[in-house]
Structure 1
Amino acid sequence: MSTDTTETTATPPASASVATTDAAPKRRSYWSLWAKVPREFAFLILTMPIAITGLVVLATTFFTGLGLIALVFGVFIVVASLFIARGFGTLELVRLRWAGRTEITRPVWDRDNREQGFWRTIFAPFVDGHYWLYMLHGMVINPVISIVSWSITIAWTSVALGGTTGWIWQRYIPDGRGDQDFWLYDVVVDWMFPGNTWQIDPVVGETVFEFILGLIFLATLPFVFRGLTLLHDVIARGVLGSWRSEALEREVAQLAASRGAAVQAEDASLRRLERDIHDGPQQRLVRLQMDLAAIERKLERDPESARELLVEAREQARETLDELRALSRGFAPPILQDRGLAVALQSVAARSPIPVTVEIDLPTDATLPASIERNAYFIAAELLTNAVKHAEASGIRLTVSTRDTGATGHWLDLWVTDNGRGGASPTAGHGLAGLDERVQGLRGVLVVDSPVGGPTTIGAHIPFAPLAAAETALQA
């Protein structure tokens, strides 16, 4: 990484920065399993009561509505049972998250446009497969699995606690076994050491055997609880979680929206460029043409007047050229293509009539795609122009950097901060609204923090795929 700095360096204010944390994976130890035992035990011990309650409520409402389906209100009872099943399924997801399991992506219940009338909204569960899966989970799957997991939890906990503490309290409980010949420890010892002639006191032998058995169950308790909780988690992910097709559908919708926003932003930019050319250079060129015609008429009969008009025409041509250069900044300038984003942004900052502090921290190996560099240049140029025109500021700061968040990929962060009067907002039809559309077209986020009185901080966060990663993917 290289840092190119002009004037003084600074970092974006904490209030406007996007916090990112890269959590390093932690190694799981045996003792770390014990940390979640209380929550997993609470989850497992409450599973069967909740599952049986759900079974009773769902079976009662669903079959009652089904029996009255011939009548009109029976349909409403069935619909109510589907919503109740959704409630019990959501409760299961919340309980699993509380028990320490990873968040399960829930179905998008309102993915369709529900502004279609009362009846369509009421009967939507009939055509939504998630409601029926939640009903299946609440009436069949969860009751069966919960009985098994609850029974194992009770049995394992009882043996672990009873075996390790029995030597304390068993002496105070009447035995009632008398002179019986059957002792469990005796059976195990004879099985492990056949033909032995050991003489062991039955009470001592049974107590020691129960204590050892209790230690084994207690030592394996975290693994059993984790396995049973994981069983419920796997079932919930398969039955209660969202479908992969829904995620792909949302991704396609987001891409379509992003593409539409990008097209609209490009169209707005072209219309603005057309208007600027019509109102500026085109009018100057018309005047220059008229001046040249006047010079041609006066060249022979009034050379002095023609010389004055030539001076004016030359000045007019220079101003036209300057204005065309200013307008051409809306396209990718040669300096951006030849020397990269860092140098191009420094060039933009140097042309500003207000002093600009620049801090650029970009990779030296040019891993930014050309489209990202071009859009970042346009965004920075327009933000600086807006600050000069509207902020009434005495100083501006431009900060550009990249970051790798791991889970969400690589991001380019561009911040422009001024000490002006504030009050900026992305109002429709204004410059910031167009910038917001451009950033959304890149699947990024535009952050505006501009209280009245200032300062104003505007950040554009744009995701990108490094060129090195893209080339590796193409080679693969």
Structure 2
Amino acid sequence: MTTATAELPLPAGNPAPERGHRSWWRQLGVDTAYVFVGFPLSIVAFVLVIAFLAVGVGTLVVWVGLPLLVLTLLIARGFAALERARIPEVLQHPVPTPVYRQADPQASLVRRLVEPLRDPQCWLDVLHALLRMALAIPAFVVVVVWWSVALAGLTAVTWDWSIPYGSDSQNYTLPEALGLDDTATNRVLVHTAIGLLFALMLPGVARVSALLEAQFARALLTLRAGTQAELGRLSEGRDAAVAAEAVALRRLERDIHDGPQQRLVRLSMDLHRAQRLIDTDPDGARSTLAEAATMTRETLEELRALSRGIAPPVLADRGLAAALAAVAARSPVPVELAVGLPAGQRLAPAVENSAYFLVSEALANIAKHSDATVARVTVVREDGRLRVEVEDDGQGGAVLAPGHGLAGLADRLFAVDGVLTVDSPRGGPTRLIGELPCP
């Protein structure tokens, strides 16, 4: 079976898809490791960045500070890259990587040195290195305390005997503070109960501590990356829309040239011929005028068909369901149409247009190439997306390839954040599935 899919590409630098749900004990290990490793990393990052930053700023007046500041930014970028590699495990979803400014390869040495200083993301990396300790130290202390109390309490029965509890001691044991007798049994029970309480709270405490650190890092290290990825996606969507419109315009020009234009040339010649014959051969002139009238009707019908391919009035006036019903009625191949939209419901114009052109082009391709005896069109709206499915029982073999009609449809859907999937094994059947965002 041949299956081709045209999907939205991930922004550059994005990791793989989201991770599945973890067991609590594995998540506890991930969160604890993140906090424990983050503590020394935050100290090293702070010391290096603050030292090089101070020296670089202090010596900037004699130009020695310029390369030191650039080195500071590179150090901060290295720690930022390490942090971006660590936080997806905690957040359980991928994070984008920002695109740093790059100087022109032909630029001077000074320009290449100065270019990182003009990049806002570099300074956000520095800010992260300087401020991260404010969260890393408290998180480390809290998680260490919870682990220590939980482990000490749960293992109290193994070590309580080794501590000398004398009657002449000036200190009170915890059972005595609670009004209980200071016996080994009471001490073990109280310590174990406290350890059990802290153990039950430990996964939540570790999770909150790790999330606070990870979300802080994500805010500073990936915020601009998300904006850059969104801008890139919109730019790609715009390019896809322009490409789809260009293909449609070239096809319209070709259809006009091959159809109505040729008929109009023939019509002009017939009218001139009738004009010459009107005095010498009235019967021949009337016959020529009758042929011209027939040619005029056929040309008008062809122009109406072409105009329906541009933007049918019924789509704007009565909505998607009525427009699809008109397309199905005109199709040479019988069409079973099922539109699961409430009566009178209107969708966004871009969504309606894209869905209409998908069905119109798909039915036109079925009539031209598939040798199908029946086609089925299904339109449903579910989970905030419009799903359009066109299926036929033809010979199959349709593929998404550059320059083909299906590639133009994929571009048209991509322009509105949609996805086109083609399932067309040799011998059929062929299924086209378009999914469009429909809030």
TM > 0.5 fold call: yes
1:361 maps to which of 339, 351, 355: 339
Shift of 1:180: 2.0
- The answer to whether the 8 A contact 1:421-1:453 is kept is yes
| Alignment partners' CA distance in 2, 1:321 and 1:282 | 11
Moved more, 451-460 or 377-386: 451-460
- The residue number in structure 2 matching 1:228 is 209
Deviation of 1:236 after TM superposition, in Å, equals 2.1
User: More displaced, 52-61 or 150-159?
Assistant: 52-61
Retained in 1: the 8 A contact 2:422–2:433? Answer: yes
The change in CA–CA distance for 1:17 and 1:424 in structure 2 (over 3 A counts) is closer
Q: Which runs of 5+ in 1 are unaligned?
A: 1-12, 20-31, 191-197, 466-476
Distance 1:68 1:411, change over 3 A: farther
Change (3 A) 1:384 1:121: farther
1:303–1:452 Cα change, 3 Å: same
Q: 1:150 aligned to 140, 143, 163, which one? A: 140
1-structure distance, mates of 2:167, 2:289: 130
- The verdict on how the C-alpha distance between 1:297 and 1:250 changes in structure 2, with shifts beyond 3 A counting, is same
User: Closer, same or farther in 2 for the Cα pair 1:404/1:77, shift >3 Å?
Assistant: farther
Match of 1:322 among 294, 297, 301: 301
Taking only the aligned residue pairs, the percentage that are identical comes to 35
Corresponding residue for residue 401 of structure 1: 379
Match of 1:183 in 2: 172
Q: Which amino acid aligns with 1:444?
A: G
In 2: Cα distance, 1:208 partner to 1:436 partner: 68
Question: How many aligned positions are there?
Answer: 423
8 A contact 2:335–2:374 mirrored in 1: yes
Corresponding residue number in structure 1 for 2:386 = 411
> Unpaired runs of 5+ in structure 2?
9-22
Deviations along 1:418-472, one digit per CA (max 9) or x if unpaired, are 5344455232xx645554554344343445667889876554433344xxxxxxx
- DSSP 3-state at the match of 2:178: helix
Equivalent-residue separation in structure 1 for 2:244 and 2:292 (angstroms) = 37
Which residue is 1:26 aligned to? none
**1:288 match:** 267
- Contact 2:49 2:76 survives alignment (8 Å): yes
Aligned counterparts, 1:271-310, within 5 A: 273=252, 276-295=255-274, 297-298=276-277, 301-302=280-281, 304-306=283-285, 308-310=287-289
User: Which of these residues, 41, 57, 60, is aligned with residue 50 of structure 1?
Assistant: 41
Letter in 1 for 2:416: L
Q: 1:240 to 1:186 in 2, by over 3 A?
A: same
Q: Is the 8 A contact 1:439 1:462 kept in 2?
A: yes
Distance 1:123 1:455, change over 3 A: farther
In the alignment, is the contact (CA less than 8 A) between 2:396 and 2:425 conserved in 1?
no
Where does 1:23-422 land on structure 2 (aligned, <5 Å)? 36-55=27-46, 58=49, 75-76=66-67, 78-99=69-90, 101=91, 103=93, 105-106=95-96, 108-110=98-100, 117=106, 123-138=114-129, 140-171=130-161, 173=162, 175=164, 179-185=168-174, 188-189=177-178, 200-243=181-224, 258=237, 262=241, 266=245, 269=248, 273=252, 276-295=255-274, 297-298=276-277, 301-302=280-281, 304-306=283-285, 308-336=287-315, 340-353=319-332, 355=333, 357-365=335-343, 366-389=345-368, 391=369, 393-394=371-372, 397=375, 399-405=377-383, 409-415=384-390, 419-422=395-398
CA-CA distance at 1:94 after TM superposition: 3.7
Give the alignment partner of residue 442 of structure 1, picking from 410, 416, 424. 416
CA gap 1:90/1:358 in 2 versus in 1, 3 angstroms: farther
Find the aligned partners of 1:170 and 1:106 in 2 and give their Cα distance: 51
SS in 2 for 1:426: coil
What is the Cα deviation at residue 66 of structure 1? 6.7
Q: Distance in 2 between matches of 1:436 and 1:15?
A: 11
Give the corresponding residue for 2:402. Answer: 426
Mapped partners of 1:298, 1:145: distance in 2: 97
Q: What is the SS of the residue equivalent to 1:36?
A: helix
Cα contact 1:422–1:454 (8 A) shared by 2: no
